Structure 1
Amino acid sequence: MNLLRSRPALVALGATALLAATAAVPSASATPTRSAAAAGSIALDWYDTTAQTIAAAGATTQVTNSRTWAISWLAAARATRAVPSGVDRSEYRSAALASAVHDALAALAPARTEQLDAALQQTLDAIPDGPSEDKGVAAGSRQAELALKSREGDGLDPASVNAPYTVPAPAPGEWQPTPSAYAPATQYGNRLAKPFTLTSADQYRLPAPPALDSRRYKADLAEVRAYGAQNSTQRTAHQTETANFWLGSSLTLYTEPLRVAVDRAPRSDAERATLVALFHVALVDTQIATSDSKYAHTRWRPVTAIRTGSIDQDPDWTPLHNTPAHPDYPSGHNTYSGAAEGVLDALAGPSTAPFQVSSPTAPGVTRTYTTWHQLTVENVDARIYSGIHTRSADEAGVTLGRNVAGQTLRTADRLLRSL
């Protein structure tokens, strides 16, 4: 079976039912209001506000920023899931979503409180005053407070994420700090953090990477040596562009694709909040699971293997891009893409109308996609063309990400219950 083409069909069916459970069902006597006429627009407004908040005041560690998304939108999904009697459904949900995301973001990024207060006021000005708005605001505030409390001390602050790691003694296959900075290991602390839905960080720990004397490992190393070298004569201009395009933060690169899905797929603010919440919950847990497998196997990076290993040693070999300071197996970019694809396939469908994505690490380049799977395929190749991962590490990463996404979707009903 081609792991990059399999589809978690049963999970997708369950996820479709989950979104259906949050869909708006207006009564026959309901009259249109300005908030109902723009159903779903509040979610997009607050999606953009969240992205702007993290861009301006986010943490130095990606998983911490993923946590901010997850807490804020999980609070919103919980607050909008059930609607009390005697209120307008759309007005209540719009107020609840805005209140939940506002309060969570203000607590997690206090430097942006002024901007967040202004955004909340703008949302509330568009909702008629009355019990629907009042009860929605109260529900959102309560769920934000409870979501924040439930994640206190979860080990995903920057200092905990980059907890000290003792580097193993040099040996064939063992990770060592890499040129040019030879920086200390990062992200070790992720594996010690508290997940949202995983029973433990090692729940989906990957099996060991290919043995150093295996045919697969030799093929992996030969591929990255040829296509990932700084001065490669095998890598095409388009392949170099692919490496540059996917070089940056996965959180940044997937912000626009997720927004496309939020805009196009679900029908209501409640459904959209659910999609954003489950996406980022899955991605927090994926980053925890990634670090568990990385530091369980401590596989050296290609640059170390090529410069010091026993297979065609080349002390001068240099990758196209600097190697990140953590082990090779699995690739974090690809665990991210695997989890993202799993959630988007299940909740938004595997394909959509063409959409464009740009990248801060490839200025002026815009790429067009029609499936979430295309993003995954490019991520797999990109890390090889960058010279920083083997194909085995990339493909194992996709598998791990998909496993964690499946766990998130299977446990979503319990996760989304109001606290």
Structure 2
Amino acid sequence: MKKFLAILTVLILISACKTEPQIEEPIEISAEDLHASVDKVTEIMIHDIFSPPVASRIFTYPNIAAYEIVALHNDEYTSLVGQVTDLKPIPEPDSVSNINYDLSALVAHMELSKRLIFSEDRMETLRDSLYGVWEGKNPTVFKSSKNYGLQVAAHIGEWMNKDNYPQTRTMPKFTVDADNASRWQPTPPAYMDGIEPHWSKIRPFVIDSAAQFKPIPPPAFSMDESSDFYKELKEVYDVGKKIEEEGDQSAEIAIAKFWDCNPYVSVTRGHLMFATKKITPGAHWIGITKIAARKTDSDFDQTLYAYTKTSMAIADGFISCWDEKYRSNLIRPETLINQHIDDEWKPVLQTPPFPEYTSGHSVVSGAASTTLTSIFGDNFSFEDDTELPYGLPMRKFESFNKAAEEAAISRMYGGIHYRAAVEVGLKQGRNLGQFLVDKLKMKTDQRMASNSQ
């Protein structure tokens, strides 16, 4: 009897030790997960203080990596292979049975983003929090999807590393031509060197070359008061004085500050100088892309499509603009006004550290607004709350094009650009954006555009 009871006890204990089999749940990836990854990249770029051109590159490669995974499994989207310079087909997964493609796409996005920023630990914090949730729901699918995402990130990373960016890190600094009165000179308060003078050597994504949308030259330099150039210089000064008189009540100053987006603002207090941190112009338009995607209830794939297409337009816009900046090498209004008109005059905005023509905000805004219009439709009204974290109120726009026009003219209101740089730059960006829209065959745009009406 005792032997029987002992055996029975052992059987009961063995039975009790058996755990219920884990029920694996489906892993759902939403557009908000993608927004979170993009927002984290923006946050880190502000912290790490990346220049506007470099920031545009950081946005674009992770988007392309994720998009190519989506295009592999979703028939509504077409691969960018053959459309984007030198891009090769991504590897296909060994087995499709346990792959969640949107999860793989998000893994690739976070992994490639991590490689492109400095503060990797900040990206890892977001990544690890998501990994924990996904793995807890379905370990099998998570592992397979994660491994595939990392495989694609490695593939896109190899392509990325051949875009001449590493080579430009070792190229010489820009040499200031102090003997030529028309050439750019460093501006106060930090008198920084010209940033990214070799950016035109970066491989474009969609445009044929950096000079494909070379704009007309700026007005001929002349300090003759009857010349077109001097009239534009005087206009910047007069607008600045008017804004100064109106103070905080000025509509122009509100516009200028809203679109400032200068990550290089230096603040001097006593003997100390430090930088305030803001988003770049490209990051502002990436924020507008998020606003439009949310307004249209775009799903993960639709949102990724919008981010990818817009970020390529922004990136190529910077390549095109920087090509002209260091070709024309035009002096900034602040320098000439202080030398010839009013030595105490200061612009509303701090002058960025690179040549004047054309306006980067204008080019990028023209390219981004044209691309977003192709995705979400014309007359797409939205409330832009992108600058709320920086203490600036929301602004409302009737369309992406209206927003671009305001972004462009904000540079003259801010005292850092002549009118020609603004107007020609906006046209340069719009032409580039339309070329990209016409060339890229990524999907049927009408479906998302119809959602915005």
Q: Using structure 1 for the length normalisation, give the TM-score.
A: 0.78
The one-letter amino acid of 1:245's match is: F
1:81 to 48, 71, 77: 71
2:124 to 110, 114, 119: 114
Aligned residue in 1 for 2:106: 98
**Does the C-alpha gap of structure 1 residues 229 and 165 become closer, same or farther in structure 2, counting only changes over 3 Å?**
farther
Map of 1:154-233 to 2, 5 A cutoff?
154-156=163-165, 160=169, 163-212=172-221, 216-229=228-241, 232-233=244-245
The aligned length equals 376
**Counterpart for residue 334 of structure 2:** 303
Cα shift readout 1:87-128 (whole Å, capped 9, x = no counterpart): 689x73322222211221233343335314324415635865
Counterparts of 1:238-257 in structure 2, within 5 Å, are 238-248=251-261, 249-257=280-288
Greater C-alpha radius of gyration: 2
Which secondary structure state, in structure 2, belongs to the residue aligned with residue 228 of structure 1?
helix
Aligned partner of 2:431 in structure 1 is: 403
Q: 1:341 aligns with which of 364, 369, 374?
A: 369
CA 1:161/1:325 → structure 2, altered by over 3 Å: closer, same or farther? farther
**Structure 2: runs of 5 or more not aligned:** 1-24, 74-91, 262-279, 443-453
Q: Does residue 377 in structure 1 map to residue 405 in structure 2?
A: yes
The aligned counterpart of 2:10 is none
Q: Counterparts of 1:161 and 1:225 in 2: how far apart (Å)?
A: 38
Task: Say if 1:141 and 1:265 are closer, same or farther in 2 by CA, change over 3 A.
Answer: farther
The verdict on how the C-alpha distance between 1:308 and 1:378 changes in structure 2, with shifts beyond 3 A counting, is same
Q: Quick one: percent identity of the two aligned structures?
A: 22
SS of the counterpart of 1:188?
coil
Q: What CA distance in whole angstroms lies between the structure 2 residues aligned with 1:377 and 1:161?
A: 37
State the Cα distance separating 1:293 from its structure 2 match. 0.4
CA displacement 1:229-276 (0-9 Å, x = unmatched): 497336752211222222122134334312112323474422321221
Instruction: Return the offset for 1:327.
Output: 1.3
Matched residue, 2:416: 388
Shift of 1:393: 0.5
Alpha-carbon offset, residue 162 of structure 1: 8.5
2:60 is aligned, of 70, 88, 105, to: 70
Q: Which amino acid aligns with 1:220?
A: E
Residues 230 and 319, structure 1, Cα contact 8 Å, conserved in 2 = no
CA distance in 2, matches of 1:76, 1:365: 33
RMSD: 3.4
SS across alignment from 2:238: helix
Aligned to 2:76: none
How far is 1:79 from its partner? 0.7
Q: Deviations over 1:133-157 (max 9, x none)?
A: 6654344222211111111153446
By relative contact order (CA 8 Å, sep 6+), the higher-ranking structure is 1
| Rounded Cα–Cα distance in structure 2 between residues aligned with 1:349 and 1:46 | 25
Q: Aligned equivalents of 2:53 and 2:293: distance in 1?
A: 21
Relative distance call for 1:364 and 1:210 in structure 2 (3 A) is closer
Query: Is 2:261 aligned against 1:271?
Result: no
Q: Which of 32, 35, 45 matches 1:44?
A: 35
Q: Deviations over 1:361-404 (max 9, x none)?
A: 96252222342223212222221121111111111221222233
CA gap of 1:92–1:297, structure 2 versus 1, over 3 A, is same
Q: Give the aligned residue type for 2:285.
A: Y
**Partner of 2:84 in structure 1?**
none
- Equivalent position SS for 2:395: strand
Instruction: Give the corresponding residue for 1:13.
Output: none
Gaps of 5+ in 1: 1-32, 415-419
Contact residue 388 and residue 394 of structure 2 kept, 8 A: no
More moved, 296-305 vs 211-220: 211-220
